[in-house]
Amino acid sequence: MHTETTFRMDSHRTHNGSQRPDFLGWRGTSPEFGEITVAYPFMTGEYEIRATVRGDKVPTVLFDVKGFHVPGLLMPTLNRGTLRVGEREVVMSRNRLGVTRQGRALHLTHGEDQYKLWAISRKHYALARKPSGARPGVTVKVKQSGIGGRRHLSGGLYLTVTVEGRAEPTDIALAAMFSGVDRSNLTRGGAFRSIFSRGANHIVHLGS
């Protein structure tokens, strides 16, 4: 039987009173899985940045990025990212040259579960788990609404999380995680800018 549920996650900012940046993110309550919190950026090293998902009834999820491009980032990027659910790493792959939304989608493998993440628009994305055996698939859509910017999250911004099907805790945690990750490379404009940037960097390297 097809079911659909919706819940809201509001933007929040945690002031830590130190030289490190404040933690940004989203917090909301799922009818089935209780409170869920997304937080970023955790600077775990000079060239390391992390986003986290924690909750009452969902597994802890970590998304880490390491590299010289990290300083100045507001949130982790898909490039050079490592995703973990608990202690288990999630394998990620994507076609950087994909032309369509589905062609640019991020594919994830967690144990025996296969997921696909794609951009519906710049502020709207979907994560789908494929059916497996007797378990039906599920799609979780996340849409950002309200007034505000990524660098200055305020109470005017919120996420609407729509679950199409019977979700499991990991499905919700993974879908929430990507609200704290820069997904721009999954959009047509972001993918184009990324290809152009890599090409320009390659030219500079050849000329040096």
Across residues 162-171, what is the average pLDDT?
Answer: 97
Which pTM was predicted? 0.86
Is the pLDDT at 196 greater than 60? The verdict is no
Handedness of CA 9, 112, 98, 166 (dihedral sign): negative
Is the pLDDT at 191 greater than 50? The verdict is no
> Which of 127-136's residues contact partners 24+ apart within 8 Å by CB, and which partners?
127/171, 127/174, 127/175, 127/178, 129/171, 136/165, 136/166
Query: What's the burial of 203, exposed, middle or buried (CB within 10 Å: 0-12/13-18/19+)?
Result: exposed
Structural domain boundaries enclosing 103: 4-207
The enclosing H or E element of 14 equals strand 4-14
Q: How far apart are CA 96 and CA 149, in angstroms?
A: 27
Is the pLDDT at 206 greater than 50? The verdict is no
Is the pLDDT at 1 greater than 60? The verdict is no
Strands (E), 95-197: 106-110, 113-121, 124-129, 138-146, 157-164
pLDDT value of residue 16:
59
Total domains present in the chain: 1
- Comparing 72-76, 90-94, 154-158, the range with the smallest average pLDDT is 154-158
DSSP classification of residue 183: -
pLDDT value of residue 58:
98
